[in-house]
Amino acid sequence: MNLSKIQLEKIRVYLDEIGFKYIDVQMEILDHVASAVEEKMTEDPNLAFQDAVNQTRTSFGKAGFTKIEKSIVKGLNKKYRKLFLQHFFSFFGIKYIWAIFLSAFGVYQLQNLISNQDSFFAVFSLAFIMFFAIQAYRGFKPLAYKRYMVYKISGTYAGYFGVFLMMVFQAIIKPSTGLLFGLNKGYLIVSVLTVLFAVYYIAALKTEKEGVLESKAIADKLKLLYR
């Protein structure tokens, strides 16, 4: 026998109440519990829905649900870490390496052109404010997916951008002196860090985008259910 929409909703509400808030996590546990309940009720047609749920709940135990959630989180972390690293290192392949060197050269020349670290700091700060405005806009945009574990995990990398920025700031405020390969060491460090930051951020955004797409795919299916 198949459970009705109302019965399924009761299981979903129960999962929500005991702390399984993420839709994609709920989805997988819900299907497993519902399948088990359906089987129990098919084997014993006199078994009431609530009794079947209680029996299933006992066989799972709260630890059972938590273990499933933990495995989902662990699996997603591994999957998205792999994706992020793939995106990050793809910039150092033949296809993009010229752009990396060209960008680093551009930042180096910009510092040379301004030739005053204070002015460069001002330009960099302006770029930072603009960047923050974009980041803030992005923060509001995907609210629709905040209840998806996959979205949360895929967005982790974009959240760490501040660490890189602090390193760049530090390099600008306290520039290294001297020459390295005949080039200004301070400018060189800032150039390399800025380009690495850009690559990191693009890779993080690409990773997040894949998480959004995965969340959207589930959200679209959910819409089909509740239309």
Partner 1 sequence: MYIEFYIYLDMSTNNELFKGTLQTIVLKLLSENERMYGYEITQKVKQITKGELTLKEGALYPALHKLEAEGFLETTTEVVDNRLRKYYSLSRSGNKEMVNKLQEAKDFIAQLQLLLNLKPTI
Task: State the residues that interact with partner 1 by CB under 8 A.
Answer: 2-5, 8, 27-28, 30-32, 34-36, 38-39, 60, 63-64, 67-68, 70-72, 74-79, 82, 217-218, 221-222, 224-225
Q: Which runs of consecutive H residues, i.e. helices, occur in the chain?
A: 5-17, 23-43, 49-90, 94-114, 117-140, 149-154, 161-173, 185-226
Tell the smallest beta-carbon distance from residue 199 to partner 1 (Å). 23
Residue nearer to partner 1 on the CB measure, 129 or 225: 225
* 47 vs 198 by CB, closer to partner 1: 47
Question: For residue 210, what are its two tokens?
Answer: 């894949």
HSE-up of residue 137 (Cα within 13 Å, Cβ side): 6
Stated length of the chain: 227
What is the Rg, in whole angstroms, of the alpha carbon atoms belonging to the chain? 25
CB nearer partner 1, residue 3 or residue 189: 3
Question: From CA 163, how far away is CA 5, in angstroms rounded?
Answer: 47
Q: Which is nearer to partner 1, 64 or 142 (CB)?
A: 64
Report, in Å, the least distance between residue 75 CB and partner 1.
3
| Minimum distance, C-beta of residue 219 to partner 1, in the bound complex (Å) | 10
Tokens 């792999």 identify what position? 82
Question: Nearest Cα to 194, choosing from 172, 175, 209, 179?
Answer: 172
Q: Which amino acid, 161?
A: F
Q: How far is the CB of 47 from partner 1 (least distance, A)?
A: 18
Q: How far is the CB of 3 from partner 1 (least distance, A)?
A: 7
Cα–chain center distance at 66: 21
- Residue 86 or 170: which CB sits closer to partner 1? 86
